[in-house]
Structure 1
């Protein structure tokens, strides 16, 4: 199961404020007794600006430049933040693992994979017990998804129909109601399948867990 959740934690918040519209994305997170190490992409911005922000950021204890990619840079950052440590340890205890995280103002959007729903509940309860506010946004049962980029069969059906009927052309050759009528479902149901399928395709291709969506801020 893939879970998307929000947590209010000030990690790299000063850096984000300093850099303005730049995106900050975490790809890997590892915590031990002396703190946590995160692999983060920051951009679009030049290296001196990033490091000026990191040098003033009290949420981290150290950082190191790894490489430039796209119009941003990869860094390893170290933090002793208790919330981040709790998230990491709770994921480990619930047999979950991080797919990625994006900084969005005052909080972070995390995406993680869990083996089953009971693991998600155990993870949530562990954070609540630690007095950490967690806002679960979506839970996707990816066992129902097709092997083609994670879309479900109903999503795949409406996406392919939209492509074949010219829904994506400019100007459009068919409407949402046309697609719904052909599928025998309501326009609202067709819209939801189309939007969710499109979101899943983008997440699992352009913003795949193996590489954050370089250069684009989170939604």
Structure 2
């Protein structure tokens, strides 16, 4: 049975975490991962700060070959990174074990990854490989894949976070508050805020769009 898992990694243990040394208030979110034969090249967003040289905010790291600015919208920057294939980290381990990355969000405190395996043993294999490479992951959630059709109601915590984010202007452009502000109000971490917002929005979309005819590609 397909299985989803959530795990965390200390911010400094992931190559893109070097940005937090200069810009501790930003968040970084991987948008897409493209597995290739010899390298993984994802796009990622940097949010929560306006700087003239966003590429320069990243310090050199042995896991990164190159970072290239692509585009920006208000205080959000889209960049592309080329990873070093000989550096063992979470992404290379995911590619090696053929576990799919659904989402990854990083802050100055930690990185939170959501992954999916075809079976529970795929997740176990990924964990074992991380232990072999001394990659300090902490598993925080493990569950069977949930069909989108069943996600019809928000939990109380998801609704609380979404209402607060909406009322405080988190969804405005530019944003009027940060995830840290929301987390301080709710007495939870930024990662917990991100998870509640993401899952809440996913549930809303799942319950409202399931009957919509998908667009052809």
Question: Which bracket does the TM-score occupy, shorter chain normalised?
Answer: 0.5 to 0.7
Which string of whole-angstrom CA distances, capped at 9 and with x for unpartnered residues, describes residues 153-174 of structure 1? xxx3976xx9xxxxx8xxxxxx
User: Could you say which residue in structure 1 is the equivalent of 2:61?
Assistant: 58
Q: 1:206 & 1:27 partners in 2: Cα distance? A: 21
| 1:203, distance to aligned residue in structure 2 (A) | 5.6
Residue 142 of structure 1 corresponds to which residue in structure 2? 145
Matches within 5 A, 1:34-183: 34-54=38-58, 56-59=59-62, 60-80=64-84, 81-92=87-98, 96-105=99-108, 107-143=110-146, 145=147, 147=149, 150=151, 156=153
Quote the Cα distance in structure 2 between the aligned partners of 1:24 and 1:125.
26
Larger radius of gyration: 1
RMSD, aligned α-carbons: 3.5
Distance in 2 between residues matched to 1:198 and 1:31, nearest whole Å = 28
Contact 1:25 1:42 in 2 (8 A): yes
The residue that corresponds to 1:171 in the other structure is none
TM-score (norm 2): 0.61
Tell me whether 5-14 or 109-118 shows the greater mean CA deviation.
5-14
**8 Å Cα contact 1:6-1:109 kept in structure 2:** yes
Deviation at 1:130? 2.7
* CA shift digits 1:70-105 (9 cap, x unpaired): 52111001222321453232441xxx2111111233
**Structure 1 regions of 5+ residues with no counterpart?**
163-167, 169-194, 209-219
Distance 1:46 1:158, change over 3 A: closer
Question: In the alignment, is residue 21 of structure 1 matched against residue 14 of structure 2?
Answer: no
TM-score, scaled to structure 1: 0.61
- Specify whether residues 203 and 87 from structure 1 end up closer, same or farther in structure 2 by C-alpha distance, changes over 3 A only: farther
For the Cα contact (< 8 Å) 1:13–1:106, is it kept in 2? no
Q: Deviations over 1:184-214 (max 9, x none)?
A: xxxxxxxxxxx9x966642626999xxxxxx
Q: Where does the alignment leave 5 or more consecutive residues of structure 2 unmatched? A: 164-192, 207-217
Gap change, CA 1:112 and 1:203, over 3 Å in 2? farther
Q: How many residues align?
A: 165
Q: Is the 8 A contact 1:90 1:126 kept in 2?
A: no
Give yes or no for contact 2:8–2:113 (8 Å, CA) kept in 1: yes
Q: Which residue of 1 aligns with 2:178?
A: none
